[in-house]
Amino acid sequence: MSTATVTKIQRPSKEQRIDTIVESARKVFCSSGFEKGAIEFIAKEAGIAEGTIYRYFDSKHGLLDEVLSRHYSALFDNIHQTLPSIKGPCNRLRYMIHRTLITISEDRSMCGLRTLYARQSEDKRPSLSHDQNRRMAVLMANEVKAGIKEGTFRPDTSPSIVCYMIGGALELTEHSFMRTGKTIDVDKVTDSIWRTIHSGISSSDATTKSLTSLVERFEQAADRLDPA
Amino acid sequence: MSTATVTKIQRPSKEQRIDTIVESARKVFCSSGFEKGAIEFIAKEAGIAEGTIYRYFDSKHGLLDEVLSRHYSALFDNIHQTLPSIKGPCNRLRYMIHRTLITISEDRSMCGLRTLYARQSEDKRPSLSHDQNRRMAVLMANEVKAGIKEGTFRPDTSPSIVCYMIGGALELTEHSFMRTGKTIDVDKVTDSIWRTIHSGISSSDATTKSLTSLVERFEQAADRLDPA
DNA sequence: TCAAATAATGAGCTAGCCTCATTAGTTGAG
DNA sequence: CTCAACTAATGAGGCTAGCTCATTATTTGA
């Protein structure tokens, strides 16, 4: 038979195929959401049959996991690489907050997916995205612990609670970003989160004022001493 | 016809029926999760037909909303009632944190539902539970604003970020509680969250020490002055 | 070159949300 | 009390969408 009549379809490599599927899934999930993003559409987007997807992924949830995992592994790799070059728990924590916010602000369509399903745990399968959240939390907790050890942070600080607070603030910022569509002022939000965690919200005005006057009084007293 | 042969089934009032349905839904959702908690089982639990549920609720999601709404309205009512009797933004914020943690710790089975679906926003329907979250956030933000106004809190504090941090910390505590099953030490966690928000995590040791020595030096100077 | 292995297909199975024609119970006027 | 109009409940069945599997297509390596 001639090559003109029979066109053998060249099969892409396993990796290419998976990439195509994941990318199609990302597109569909982002534009339609997880529940409404049907496998049928993902298959159409990828130009393959529905069944093919199930050769590479156990379930729709598994596919979502891979989509999220790929998206956030970039963030995670970056942090993992950069962290050693930053000195001091404060700077490192601040960097993690900043970098996460950049990732969030870069791809709004992704946010809805993660905020909704990062905590997917109805079936006990420990999802990849959840695992990544945990790894990030561990990184942060380590910095808090280091800060406590070296005396930078109060010894009665609970590392896990601090992580919860940072993580929660990031998630809710993400969520608000997704809902309102208002762009995130990354530097400003980083400052806000970090300042609140680091210094708290209690005004130091009263203390500062009383201390200032105290110092003044003592300095006057010292002045009176010195000439003598 | 005799009353012995025909047993007319007495119909419960509309309210009773809804109560039964919501309670059955709560049980099923709590034990099986939302996705796996089929309407079929809820109907069976309530001793009615599936179709009856749809007389009172538009959809499964609507039913979930009502379940969550009922569960958390108790918390919300309590806070709404108690708040006016508490003086000062600090005490009020602290109370809200504390009261929320109590509610969380009281019903563990409920937590999974809320953490997963409180942010349900794929269909644009503004869910009741989401609305409640918003109302709580507004209450908290008001206290932060009041605190800034009266000078208790730093003027450069972002009320929304503070709310995100508190809300996030509560949610992640809830989530961790649900996953690990470890009981929450409500007072301890309240302290931890509140202390971090209020005073931050930066150790005041260095400042305190230098100030203490300063005061000492000046006091010695003053002592030397006084006798003279 | 051709069998064995691997990949892809898509019709169809199944589960589960939801609908609707039918049946059951309630109410109020005569 | 009776019956018609109305409201509530039923459950078989529609329909969608995730997933399976027998069949077909392509690749591989002996």
Span B86-139, pLDDT tens digits:
999 999 999 999 999 998 888 777 766 665 554 444 444 555 556 777 788 899
Give residue B4's pLDDT.
41
Q: Is the CB of B217 under 7 A from strand C?
A: no
Residue A1 has pLDDT above 50, yes or no: no
Do B179 and B171 contact (CB within 8 A), yes or no? no
Contact of B110 with B71, CB cutoff 8 Å: yes
Q: Of chain B residues 6-65, which have a CB less than 8 A from chain A?
A: 33-36
Is the per-residue pLDDT at B187 higher than 90? yes
Q: What residues of B are in contact with residue A168 (Cβ under 8 Å)?
A: 164-172
Q: For A128-148, what is each residue's pLDDT tens digit? A: 556 777 788 899 999 999 999
Of B33, B12, B15, the C-alpha closest to B178 is B33
pLDDT higher than 50, residue A5: no
**CATH no. for B71-202:** 1.10.357.10
Predicted confidence at residue B165, as pLDDT, reads: 92
Question: Is residue A27 within a helix (H) or strand (E), and if so which, with residue range?
Answer: helix A14-32
What part of A 171-200 touches B (C-beta under 8 Å)? 171-173, 175-176, 179, 189, 192-193, 195-200
B58 burial (CB, 10 Å; 0-12 / 13-18 / 19+) is exposed
pLDDT at A71 over 50: yes
Strand, coil or helix: A94: helix
Predicted local distance difference test score (pLDDT) of residue A188: 94
pLDDT averaged over every residue in chain B: 82
Task: Let me know: does A21 contact A56? Beta carbons within 8 Å.
Answer: yes
pLDDT at B2 over 50: no
CATH 3.30.2090.10, domain B11-57, yes or no: no
pLDDT in tens, B20-59: 999 999 999 988 888 899 999 999 999 999 999 999 999 9
Higher pLDDT, B218 or B5: B218
Name the more confident of A201 and B154.
B154
> What pLDDT, on the 0 to 100 scale, is given for residue B123?
47
Task: Show residues of chain B in contact with A152, CB under 8 Å.
Answer: 202-203
pLDDT of residue B38: 95
Tokens 């607070």 identify what position?
A: A165
Closest CA to A46 of A16, A24, A13, A22: A24
Residue A59, pLDDT above cutoff 90: yes
Per-residue pLDDT averaged across A46-74, rounded?
92
Whether A182 shows a pLDDT value over 90: the answer reads no
- Asked whether this chain's domains A12-57 and A69-202 adopt the same fold, the reply is no
The predicted model gives A60-75 an average pLDDT of 89
Tokens encoding A6:
């029979």
Instruction: Give the architecture-level CATH label for domain A12-57.
Output: Orthogonal Bundle (1.10)
So what's the pLDDT on residue A3? Answer: 39
Nucleic acid strand C within 7 Å of B13 CB: no
- Answer yes or no: is B1 CB < 7 A from strand C: no
Looking at residue A202, what DSSP letter applies? B
pLDDT digits (tens, 9 = 90+) for A164-177: 899 889 888 888 88
Q: Do A45 and A91 contact (CB within 8 A), yes or no? A: no
Is the model's pLDDT at A34 over the cut of 80? Answer: yes
pLDDT band at A82 (very low <50, low <70, confident <90, very high): very high
pLDDT of residue A69: 87
> What is the pLDDT at residue B60?
94
pLDDT, greater one: B5 or A46: A46
Residue A203: pLDDT band (50, 70, 90) is: low
Q: What is the pLDDT, as a whole number, of residue B189?
A: 94
CATH number of A69-202: 1.10.357.10
Q: Where are the domains of chain A?
A: 12-57, 69-202
pLDDT of residue B74: 84
Question: In Å, how far are A35, B156, B194 from B148, measured between CA atoms?
Answer: 43, 8, 16
The pLDDT value recorded for residue B117 is 52
- How many C-beta atoms surround the C-beta of residue B36 within 10 A? 12
- The pLDDT assigned to B199 comes to 85
What the block records as the tokens of A77 is 């790799």
Do the Cβ atoms of B157 and A119 come within 8 Å? no
Q: In this structure, what token pair is assigned to residue A10?
A: 């060249």
Query: Of A132, A134, A72, A147, whose CA–CA distance to A107 is shortest?
Result: A72
State residue A153 phi and psi, 5-degree precision. -110, 155
Q: What is the pLDDT of residue A119?
A: 47
